[in-house]
Amino acid sequence: MADLIQSSLEKVKGTKDLIINLLDDNETFAYKQDADQIMIIHNTSGDTITPILKGTSASAAYKVPGLGELDLTVGYQIGDILDGESVIIPLESVRKWIAGISSIENGSGATCIITTDGNLAMYDYIWLQGGRVVGGGKITTNSIVWG
Number of structural domains, the chain?
1
Phi, psi of 104 (to 5 degrees): -125, 125
141 domain residue, yes or no = no
The answer as to whether 108 is a domain residue is yes
Q: Is residue 6 part of a domain?
A: no
Whether 128 is in a domain gets the answer no
**In terms of residue numbers, what domain contains 34?**
19-118
pLDDT of residue 128: 52
pLDDT along the chain (147 residues), means of 10: 78 75 92 87 93 94 90 93 89 91 94 79 48 43 35
User: So what's the pLDDT on residue 9?
Assistant: 76
| 11 in a structural domain | no
8-state DSSP, 33 = T
What pLDDT sits at residue 136?
A: 46
- CATH number of the domain within which 37 lies: 2.60.290
pLDDT computed for residue 51 by the predictor: 95
Quote the pLDDT of residue 139.
35
Say if 137 falls within a structural domain.
Answer: no
* Number of Cβ within a 10 Å radius of residue 98: 26
127 in a domain, yes or no?
Answer: no
Please measure the distance between the N-terminal and C-terminal CA atoms of the chain and give it in whole angstroms.
31
- For residue 82, being part of any structural domain is answered with yes
pLDDT at 5: 86
